[in-house]
C-alpha cells in the first residue's frame, strides 16, 4: 500500500492542502501545536474511519467549519484507489472511487494503517481495555472482517445489558441472549487468540533486538477457553449460566470477552507492574512493529504512522526503528520537532514537509 496523493479540507486547524506523495518516508516537521499531529490524524481517519485522539467526529472538524473532507489515493496491487471520508452534520460519508462501498471491508482492502503515538505506553501499563483495543486493532489490520465480529458481539452485549437493567428480566429472553453471546464471544476470542499467536514470535524477536535482552511472553486471558471455537463457545456459555444470578442481582454483565486481558510478561514478570519506562517504550514499539512484520508476511504491508517520535524514543531506539522500517519496505509518515532523530532515513526516499500554523509548506529532500 502506497499513498500517492493526500488532501484535506476543514480538518481541525489545517488549512486546505493537497500533497503529492512521492517518497516512502514522509516527515512532518514543525513546532508543537502547529498541526503536525492533525495532518497525521487526517491520514489515520482515511485509513481507519476513526480519530487518532478522539472518538467524536465533531472534534475533527475545524471550529469554524461545517464539514471536513479527507481524500487519499492509494496504489495497491497495481491499482490506484481513491478513499474519501466526509464528516459533517453529525454524519460520516465514506466513498471508494467515488461510490459508497457495499461493505466497509471493500473500502479497507486497499488502505490500512498502524500507528505509534505517545499514548500507546498505556497498552502495556494501562487498563485491560487498552490491550483489548490493541489486539482487536491488530486483528482488524490482518482481516478487516474482524470489525464485523466485534460489532456482532457488542450488539448482543448491549442487548443483554439493556435487559438486565429492565424492571423485569425474562429468563427465556436471557437464554437466547446468552447463547448469542456465547456464539459471537467464542468467535471473537478465537480470532484474538489466533492473531496473538501469530504476532507473539515477531514481538519477542523484535524486543530482543531493540532492548538487547529480556524475554517477552504474551498470553490471552479469557473465560472463553478452548482449542477451537466450539470449545470456547461451550466454556463461555457455562460461565454465563454460572454467573446469571449475580448478573441479574447486580443488573450488569460480569462474564465475556469484554473483560478479557492480554498479559505481557518480561522474564516471567508482569511488565505492567515491573517494566521501566524504557522497557515499556521498547515493548510498545515491538508490539507495533510486530504487527507490521506479520502483515508483510501475509503480503499486505499497511501504512505506518509515528507521532511525536523525537519525544518518545532515544536515538538508540530510533536507529533500531529506522533500520526495521527500512527493511520492511513500509510507507512511513512521521511527525517530529527534531528531524535530527531521523538522520538514518534513506535520503533518496525521504521528504520533509514543514507544518506551521496549520499550513503545509514546501517539501524538501
Domain ranges of the chain: 1-112+304-365, 125-299
Maximum CA pair distance of the chain?
68
The residues, any chain, with a CB within 8 Å of residue 206's CB and separated by 6 or more, are 285, 286, 289, 290, 293, 324
Domains 1-112+304-365 and 125-299 share a fold: no
Own/partner long-range contacts of 134-138 (Cβ < 8 Å, ≥24 apart): 134/262, 134/287, 135/192, 135/195, 135/196, 135/220, 135/262, 136/192, 138/195, 138/199, 138/291
CA nearest neighbour of 226 among 257, 199, 198: 257
CA nearest neighbour of 255 among 194, 178, 314, 315: 178
Angle between helix axes 315-328 and 171-211 (nearest 10 degrees) is: 110
Q: What is the pLDDT of residue 312?
A: 59
Tell me the torsion sign for CA atoms 158, 164, 167, 171. Answer: positive
Q: In Å, how far are 9, 33, 169 from 39, measured between CA atoms?
A: 11, 12, 49
Q: What is the pLDDT of residue 365?
A: 46
Question: What is the rounded distance in angstroms from the CA atom of residue 87 to the CA atom of residue 10?
Answer: 9
Written as one string, the DSSP assignment of 297-316 is: HHT---EEEE-SHHHHS-HH
pTM: 0.90
Q: What is the pLDDT of residue 290?
A: 94
Looking at the domain that runs over 125-299, which CATH code has it been given? 1.20.1050.90
Mean pLDDT per block of 10 residues along the chain (365 residues) reads 94 94 90 91 94 85 92 93 94 95 90 91 94 94 91 96 93 95 97 96 91 87 96 97 95 96 92 87 91 89 86 69 78 86 75 91 62
The residues, any chain, with a CB within 8 Å of residue 108's CB and separated by 6 or more, are 140, 144, 147
The 10s digit of each residue's pLDDT in 182-240 is 999 999 999 999 999 999 999 999 998 888 777 899 999 999 999 999 999 999 999 99
Cell of 5: 496523493
What does the chain come to in residues?
Answer: 365
Topology annotation, domain 1-112+304-365: Rossmann fold (3.40.50)
Angle between helix axes 171-211 and 128-142 (nearest 10 degrees) is: 80
109's enclosing H/E stretch is none
Question: What is the rounded distance in angstroms from the CA atom of residue 36 to the CA atom of residue 39?
Answer: 5
Question: What is the rounded distance in angstroms from the CA atom of residue 133 to the CA atom of residue 153?
Answer: 14
Question: What is the rounded distance in angstroms from the CA atom of residue 80 to the CA atom of residue 73?
Answer: 6
Question: What is the rounded distance in angstroms from the CA atom of residue 338 to the CA atom of residue 313?
Answer: 12
Q: In Å, how far are 3, 15, 58, 313 from 7, measured between CA atoms?
A: 11, 10, 19, 29
Amino acid at each position: 500500500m502506497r499513498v500517492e496523493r493526500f488532501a484535506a479540507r476543514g480538518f481541525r486547524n489545517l488549512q486546505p492542502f493537497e500533497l503529492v506523495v512521492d517518497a516512502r518516508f514522509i516527515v512532518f516537521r514543525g513546532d508543537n501545536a502547529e498541526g503536525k499531529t492533525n495532518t497525521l490524524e487526517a491520514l489515520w481517519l482515511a485509513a481507519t474511519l476513526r480519530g487518532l485522539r478522539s472518538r467524536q467526529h465533531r472534534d475533527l472538524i475545524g471550529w469554524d467549519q461545517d464539514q471536513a473532507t479527507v481524500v487519499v489515493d492509494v496504489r495497491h496491487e497495481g491499482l490506484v484507489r481513491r478513499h474519501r471520508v466526509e464528516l459533517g452534520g453529525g454524519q460520516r460519508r465514506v466513498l471508494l472511487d467515488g461510490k459508497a462501498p457495499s461493505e466497509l471491508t471493500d473500502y479497507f482492502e486497499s488502505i490500512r494503517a498502524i500507528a505509534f503515538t505517545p499514548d500507546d505506553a498505556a497498552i502495556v501499563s494501562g487498563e485491560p481495555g487498552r490491550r483489548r483495543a490493541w489486539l482487536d486493532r491488530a486483528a482488524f489490520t490482518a482481516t478487516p472482517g474482524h470489525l464485523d465480529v466485534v460489532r456482532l458481539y457488542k450488539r448482543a452485549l448491549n442487548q443483554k445489558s439493556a435487559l438486565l437493567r429492565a424492571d423485569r428480566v425474562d429468563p427465556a429472553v436471557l437464554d437466547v441472549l446468552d447463547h448469542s453471546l456465547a456464539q459471537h464471544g467464542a468467535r471473537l476470542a478465537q480470532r484474538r487468540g489466533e492473531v496473538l499467536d501469530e504476532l507473539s514470535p515477531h514481538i519477542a524477536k523484535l524486543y530482543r533486538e531493540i532492548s538487547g535482552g529480556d524475554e517477552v511472553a504474551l498470553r490471552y486471558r479469557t473465560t472463553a477457553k478452548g482449542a477451537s471455537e466450539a470449545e470456547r463457545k461451550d466454556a463461555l456459555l457455562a460461565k454465563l449460566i454460572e454467573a446469571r444470578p449475580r448478573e441479574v442481582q447486580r443488573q450488569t454483565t460480569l462474564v465475556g470477552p469484554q473483560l478479557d486481558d492480554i498479559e505481557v510478561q518480561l522474564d516471567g514478570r508482569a511488565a505492567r507492574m515491573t517494566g521501566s519506562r524504557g522497557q515499556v517504550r521498547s515493548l510498545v514499539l515491538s508490539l507495533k512493529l510486530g504487527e507490521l512484520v506479520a502483515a508483510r508476511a501475509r503480503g499486505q504491508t499497511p501504512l505506518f504512522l509515528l507521532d511525536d517520535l523525537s519525544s518518545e524514543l532515544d536515538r538508540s531506539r530510533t536507529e533500531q526503528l529506522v533500520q526495521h522500517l527500512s527493511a520492511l519496505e513500509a510507507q512511513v509518515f512521521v511527525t517530529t520537532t527534531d528531524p535530527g532523530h531521523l538522520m538514518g532515513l534513506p535520503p533518496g526516499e525521504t521528504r520533509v514537509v514543514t507544518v506551521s500554523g496549520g499550513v503545509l509548506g514546501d517539501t524538501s529532500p
